[in-house]
Chains A and B, each alone.
Chain A
Amino acid sequence: MGWELASFSPDLLGEAAVEGAEVEIVPPGSPVRVTHVLDAVEPRIRSDGRAAFPAEGAGEGRTNRLDGVVVLSCLDFPGEERPLHEQESIVDLGGPGASLTPFADMTAVVLTFSPGEGGHVEVDKRSRRATLAFAEELSRPTLDAEPVEVELFQLGPADASLPAVAALIQVSDLGPLYIQYVYGVPAGEAGLPRALDPAEVLDGAVTCGEYHWAAMRNPTWFFQRNQLIRTLYREHGKTLRFAGVVLMRGYEQSAADKQRGAERAAGVAGELGADGVVITTDAGGNSHTDVMLTCRACEEAGIRTTVVLAEETDPLSTKPILTDWVREADSIVSTGNVEELVDAWTPARVLGGDLLLDGTAAKEAGLIPVRNYLGAANQMGQLALSARTE
């Protein structure tokens, strides 16, 4: 490897909350199972010296990325009392689970943190910051290299007769361990809903610290390489006009806030001039109610909607099961059923932790529900998994 990690570790890991991290570099397609995965990050760095995951001003200038490399951060939180619990999160780089992740084809740099003192909130904060900083350091050699490819994200003029389409992207904030961040600020404190330039989202404005059901999470990598935003850029001027991105909060905490949040999100979409919106979801439970209320509010405002959701259907059920549903949600993309089981597989190695959170040996875990695979049924439409009635 052509870079120095030594300059990086003392600053970031020398804190009491995180005692250190094991670093493993795993070639693509290795028979490796990675457990307790908190986040997945694409290594990036800016040539102008600004932070790769900044507090403001993403989406401007040039950002270098390391293609085909993913940083996977792993941490088994100390067993203290805490209000919200992280759920098991697996990335299989080989075996049947490899089809459920975009990361099996990449070089995975696996960071396994050793938590120290200071409680889960502090441990999480230190490990998240260390992961993002590590990803940035990893890409430092690109500053002196010629790019293989340059992508430009810029919205030119488009035929006014094309329909205007916006992306309404939900980001979670239910409390510590279930939080996504907008410019480093928890989603619940980030003044949402609000419009962002789509390039900001692709360029490090949103990061993930949400560890609810693994399959329904949107790790940082899914924002950096967001397929919905990239699709809308690609179609801009051809089949639609890309009207922009609205970030909205999932897990508004009261019925009144949920309704208000939904109406305000529809309002921002209206200010962007959207004729239609794709509404995406993060995590499960009452964040699905936020999405359904937003769908209804948009339709009532005359903005057509398509909603992206994972199913939670019992394998023996003959009906698809969603956590919530409104009649206005008549156009739904299914990103798969998280309750379906994935065939057993015995990896050659396990990284992240040898025991799953439920105590079973990760190497001989038997059938594993889709639910436990990181991002497998993510509700931004990042992957191709879907479900159908047969």
Chain B
Amino acid sequence: MKAVHYLNQFFAGLGGEDKAETPPTRLDGAVGPGRGLQAELHGVQIVATLACGDDYFAEHEDEALARLLDMLAALAPDVLVAGPAFGSGRYGYACARLAAAAAERGIPAVAAMHEDNPGVGEAGAAYVVPTAVNVAGMRDALPRLGALASALASGRELGSAEEEGYLVRGYRRNYMAERTGAERAVELLLAKLGGETRTEVGGDMDRVEPPRPVGDLSSALVALVTEAGCVPQGNPDHLQSVRAQGWFRYDLGGADTLASGRYESVHGGFDVTLANEDPNRLVPLDTVRGLERAGRVGRVHESLYTTTGNGTPVVVATKFGQEIAGELRDAGVQAVLLSGT
């Protein structure tokens, strides 16, 4: 199997800062740290080294990338290895951009750099092996880089970031575990009973903290917002009962109540029979009007905002929320009664 190694002008032995304008260059075989890397590869030969000056890459990125990718295509390697770039920002950036572009073209690619190197965020679908911040970490980095590069070249399916020693790219991906969920659950429970708590889903949940109480509700403009799928009877805008594609705004027309027969729920996630007998139990307009008359709520906003919260991806729900909140803010609404189902 064939590997191609990418280095900057310095590690390729072309020169220091004075050579940072060197355009993309192809060198035969392993060069510089590539020799140490070669010793850590299993069944993989470094057939060529591509080098480019850090300044040249930064200043002519499109052209540099195009030329490097042409060279790469001609070599048709089984894996591209870039770096290690350690803490060097320009070098790390070039490694990551080239690795990402290679991965996009179906060439397995791995770069190596310090986890705080700005290049980490540019690596796309390529893998990044973490290193120390400076070149003193070369000896430690090469075996890990070599192992991952060999695995990528072999085409075997990689394990988790933790198992394989690459930086987490952050994507959740399905995979077939070796044992059933039931067996893993019993093992996790026994471990927990033994004092070692482990989990397959981390506690880093997207929690929405409750907002602070409204200061003075008696002078506030209050809007009614719901995900209960509550719409005018007949669902004139065809709000979906599940996986809603949008939200709607309906003028309440000064009504005192959401009368049965004039409003209904099209939510597909619960039995709406009782709710449709009295839609105020989805959106409590009757109660809020009473509070308005009693002076405990300043004024009820003229529009009801509604969608169906059923199987909605969080990214989509977040977008709905931001759009609705934007309109409410522009309308001077100070408080929202958000009813969920």
Contacts and interface: CB of A to CB of B under 8 A. Distances in A.
The winner among B178, B179, B192, B271 for most chain A CB atoms within 10 A is B271
Contacts of B136: none
Interface string A56-83: 0000000000000000000000000001
B202 interface: yes
17 contacts: A83-B270, A99-B176, A165-B189, A174-B271, A228-B185, A278-B189, A306-B186, A306-B192, A308-B181, A311-B172, A332-B199, A339-B313, A382-B180, A386-B174, A386-B176, A386-B177, A387-B200
B184 interface: yes
Contacts of B242: 85, 87
Contacts of A387: 172-175, 200
A331 B313 contact: no
Contacts of A312: 313-314
Given A83-B271, A386-B174, 17 more contacts: A175-B270, A227-B181, A235-B186, A276-B190, A278-B185, A278-B189, A284-B311, A285-B311, A286-B270, A308-B181, A308-B182, A322-B201, A332-B201, A335-B181, A382-B181, A389-B160, A390-B169
Contacts of A161: none
B205 interface: yes
A333 B184 contact: yes
A236 to B, nearest CB: 11
B42 interface: no
Contacts of A380: 181-182
Interface string B139-178: 0000000000000000000101100000011111111111
B327 interface: no
B197 A337 contact: no
A316 B199 contact: no
B268 A84 contact: yes
Given A311-B172, A321-B206, A337-B172, A275 B180 contact: no
Secondary structure class of chain A's binding surface, majority of residues: loop
Nearest to B269: A285
A313 B183 CA distance: 23
Nearest to A229: B182
B203 interface: yes
A224 B174 CA distance: 26
A154 interface: no
A48 B175 CA distance: 44
Interface in A343-374: 370
A117 to B, nearest CB: 22
A389 B271 contact: no
Contacts of A320: 172, 201-202, 204
Interface-centre pick from A313, A315, A335, A388 (highest chain B CB count, 10 A): A388
Interface in A14-54: none
Closest 6 A/B residue pairs (Cβ): A381-B181, A318-B170, A381-B182, A228-B182, A227-B182, A306-B189
A281 to B, nearest CB: 11
Contacts of B184: 333, 381, 386
B171 A389 contact: yes
Contact of A388 (B175, B180, B269): B175
Contacts of A335: 181
B214 interface: no
Contact of A385 (B177, B201, B313): B177
Interface string A304-339: 111011011111111111100101011111111101
B179 A384 contact: yes
A105 interface: no
A340 B189 contact: no
B185 A175 contact: no
B270 A276 contact: no
B241 A85 contact: yes
B176 A304 contact: no
B294 interface: no
B188 A333 contact: yes
Interface residues of A, number: 69
Interface in A256-309: 275-278, 284-286, 304-306, 308-309
Contact of A386 (B200, B205, B269): B200
Most buried by B among A228, A333, A370, A387: A333
A213 interface: yes
Contacts of B173: 337, 340, 387-390
A311 B313 CA distance: 11
B38 interface: no
A388 B176 CA distance: 10
B172 A231 contact: no
Contacts of B197: 330-331
B182 A370 contact: no
Contacts of B226: none
A16 B23 CA distance: 80
A308 B186 CA distance: 10
A14 B204 CA distance: 55
A85 B310 CA distance: 12
Nearest to A388: B160
B74 interface: no
A322 B200 CA distance: 12
Nearest to B341: A286
A237 interface: no
B272 interface: yes
A162 to B, nearest CB: 10
A275 B174 contact: no
Given A84-B271, A99-B176, A385-B174, A163 B314 contact: no
A304 B192 CA distance: 7
A329 B197 CA distance: 10
A309 B188 CA distance: 14
A51 B189 CA distance: 36
A108 B166 CA distance: 43
A165 B52 CA distance: 61
A165 B186 contact: yes
